[in-house]
Structure 1
Amino acid sequence: MASPAAVRELQRDLENKANDLSKIQKGKLLDRLPITFHIAKNHQVRKKYTIQLGENELVLKELELLKEDANVYKLIGPVLVKQDLAEANANVRKRIEYISAELKRLDATVQDLEEKQNSKREAVLKVQQRMQALQAGKAKA
């Protein structure tokens, strides 16, 4: 049989864990913005990078179709500047590499944020289950 002190202790623990979850969801921990804002912002940036990655991969395929002596131009402001094919290829590959790295970083950030939120949620659920088990045992007695 559970003592009233044990029940009170579990209730305090539940309140603390629920407050922690609320803080992380409302943004009291991460620069005062809700965690859902950070996740949504990351998804938005990820979408932009995914589009850029697709565009750059398409450019790379087009460059690979060209012959060695083909003329390649790069748009710099309002001017088209002649560029070496090998240099253009290298620039596009570097851009693809950079975008891919950024996508991986964004994925890791979102995963970390979701894991933090889920761990707080699980802690609350565990305490709730202990309280329910304690109250069920008390009701049988």
Structure 2
Amino acid sequence: MGRINFEGENKREEAAGAGAGAEEREESKPKEKKRKEKKRMGSSAAIRELQRDLENKANDLSKLQKDIAKNHQVRKKYTIQLGENELVLKELDLLNEGANVYKLIGPVLVKQDLAEANANVSKRIEYISAELKRLDGTLQDLEEKQNSKKDAIFKLQQRIQSFQAGKAKA
């Protein structure tokens, strides 16, 4: 016939049923916790990767800035030489045709023809001017690279901040 339930059995069955659901919930909590942990570890790994990339870009920017400073020093040296040579050319133009011109070679002064001295100084001015133009082109290229590196660094910093802001919310 029918089964007679005692109060104790009903409570045991309910407890067993509730226990099974509780076990499932407890099992799902660690899984969910592990998933969140993996996500957090993934985002922290991504942040570390972005920071490594940022450090590399910053090092590249530093090298570019050193190259720009070196370019400025060389340019300054050539500019001074150009001024000196233009002054020498003006002085040579003031001389008469028969004037004696001497060139210092090591510790010795050697007599040189006026036309030859003019030609040498003019050639030197041409060479220095060409070097200055080359340095200007190099400087412009370096500054463009520097600006693009600065932009890349700025964007990377924004990405890192957005990652960190998202991590803080989670």
- Normalised to the residue count of structure 1, the TM-score between the two structures is 0.69
Report SS of the residue matched to 1:68: coil
CA distance in 1 between counterparts of 2:52 and 2:150 reads 12
1:136 maps to none
Counterpart position of 1:22: 58
Aligned to 1:108: 137
Show the counterpart of 1:58: 87
Q: Which residue of 2 is the match for residue 69 of structure 1?
A: 98
DSSP 3-state at the match of 1:67: coil
Identity %: 73
Task: Give the TM-score of the pair, scaled to structure 2.
Answer: 0.58
Please list every run of 5 or more consecutive structure 2 residues that lacks an aligned counterpart in the other structure: 1-42, 162-170
C-alpha distance in structure 1 between counterparts of 2:52 and 2:133, whole Å = 34
- Aligned residues between the structures: 122
Paired letter, 2:94: L
Q: Aligned partners of 1:81 and 1:50: how far apart in 2?
A: 27
Any gaps of 5 or more consecutive residues in structure 1? 1-7, 27-33, 133-141
Give the Cα–Cα distance (whole angstroms) in 2 for the partners of residues 82 and 76 of structure 1.
10
Pairwise CA distance, 1:70: 1.1
Bigger Cα Rg:
2
Q: Which has the higher helix share?
A: 2
Separation (CA, whole Å) in 2 of partners of 1:107 and 1:17: 30
Cα root mean square deviation, aligned:
2.9
* Aligned equivalents of 1:37, 1:124: Cα separation in 2: 17
Write out per-residue CA displacement over residues 94-128 of structure 1, whole angstroms, 9 at most, x where no aligned residue: 00011111111112112111111101222444577
Q: Tell me, yes or no, if the aligned pair for 1:17 and 1:120 is still in contact at 8 Å.
A: no
Which residue of the partner structure matches residue 146 of structure 2? Answer: 117
